[in-house]
Amino acid sequence: MTRTTKLIAAATAILALALLFSGWQVKRFAATPLTLRQERIFTLPAGTGRVALEAELESQQIIPRSIWFGGLLKLEPELARFKAGTYRLEAGMTVRDLLKLLASGKEAQFPLRFIEGSRLQEWLSQLRAAPYIRHTLKDDSFATLAAALKLDRDLLEGGFWPDTYLYTANTSDVALLQRAHERMEKQLGEVWRNRDPNLPYKNKNDLLIMASIIEKETGVSEERSKVASVFINRLRTGMRLQTDPTVIYGMGDAYDGVLTRKDLETPTDYNTYIISGLPPGPISMPGEASLLAAAHPEKSNYLYFVADGKGGHTFTTNLASHNRAVQAYRLAMKEKNEK
């Protein structure tokens, strides 16, 4: 073997060892845990290249500084196909896990819970405070929302399905509300089609109004159909509904937490102590249970109900029995306050 041949063989061996060493170092780097102690939300802007990504990950102290980042992307090119977005990084992930996530495009999802029984104004405040939402509504007025969703302003309250909604970063406020409205329309339509016959509703909006009142009157699931029966019986006999939650809704910001006799005697479109029949619109966002109760009320002769002081209500069929139940409630409250 000539000297030249020996030199070539030695160089080849050294190169092979260097490649093996480099490959081992790249794999070792890929298996390195991220330098995170807790979950982190990381946003990768559109148009970010390999060098910028590496610099950003290092500057945010997500990955350790290393000369092997570029080598990893060359050795495993599928990891270099990262996509712009906002991602949830978890402690314990490795560098390879991170790059796989960025290449998958599976962005972080954020929850926003809209609770049944709450009002649209409360939902809009929640939405305004939710993280990573793209705000397109200039304000939280019903007029602005009605224009954005192309809906009648009077159909907004009660027109959105209460649930927990998951969204990705940069989802617009209008898009989330549109989803909630479409779900309510679908669920309300189904409940309306399957309702009991001969209920005193002119249309499905009347059923929605009734469900919104039931939602505010009781949080006890087994009572909802009884509450519905009281209001249905009152509608059928021409009695006024006389329900406090509608009065409170009609008072708006004037309600300070205490409902007085003067409030019950002050006319508003929603004061069911004064107006006959249903109020002009829903007073809250009803959930499924209240919709079903409005569509399938219990068959009863109840015309009255009052709180029993234990979290539920006492239902009665005549005024004398109702007055006794009211007195029992007041006595229970007095005894409770004296303890």
Whether residue 271 is contained in a domain is answered as yes
Give residue 26's pLDDT. 74
Phi-psi region of 131 (alpha: psi -120 to 50; beta: other; left: phi over 0): beta
Whether residue 196 is contained in a domain is answered as no
* Cα 284 from chain centroid (whole Å): 15
Whether residue 195 is contained in a domain is answered as no
226 and 325, same domain (yes or no)? yes
- Total structural domains in the chain? 3
238 and 306, same domain (yes or no)? yes
Alpha-carbon span 74 to 81, nearest angstrom: 11
Nearest C-alpha neighbor of 128 from the set 119, 118, 140: 140
233 lies in which domain range?
202-338
Q: Are 35 and 62 in contact (CB under 8 A)?
A: yes
51 and 139, same domain (yes or no)? no
Residue with the larger pLDDT of the pair 65 and 25: 65
199-to-52, 161, 215, 234, 298 alpha-carbon distances in Å: 65, 23, 18, 12, 12
Whether residue 161 is contained in a domain is answered as yes
Query: Taking 80 as the threshold, does the pLDDT of residue 335 lie above it?
Result: no
Triad 132, 136, 139: Cα angle to 5°: 110
Whether residue 194 is contained in a domain is answered as no
Give residue 8's pLDDT. 55
Range 297-318 average pLDDT: 90
Alpha-carbon span 154 to 61, nearest angstrom: 51
pLDDT band for 309, please (50, 70, 90 cuts).
confident
60 and 175, same domain (yes or no)? no
Whether residue 179 is contained in a domain is answered as yes
Range 234-256 average pLDDT: 94
224 and 322, same domain (yes or no)? yes
Alpha-carbon span 162 to 158, nearest angstrom: 9
216 and 322, same domain (yes or no)? yes
Alpha-carbon span 156 to 158, nearest angstrom: 6
Give residue 5's pLDDT. 64
89 and 149, same domain (yes or no)? no
Residue with the larger pLDDT of the pair 2 and 102: 102
pTM: 0.85
Alpha-carbon span 123 to 115, nearest angstrom: 8
Whether residue 183 is contained in a domain is answered as yes
Domain boundary among 77, 104, 131: 104
Alpha-carbon span 227 to 218, nearest angstrom: 8
Give residue 39's pLDDT. 93
* Token pair for 115: 């609770």
Domain boundary among 164, 188, 212: 188
Domain boundary among 104, 128, 154: 104
146 and 93, same domain (yes or no)? no
**83-98 pLDDT tens trace:** 999 999 998 899 999 9
171 and 292, same domain (yes or no)? no
22 and 94, same domain (yes or no)? yes
Local structure of 73: helix, strand or coil: helix
97 and 135, same domain (yes or no)? no
Whether residue 139 is contained in a domain is answered as yes
207 and 312, same domain (yes or no)? yes
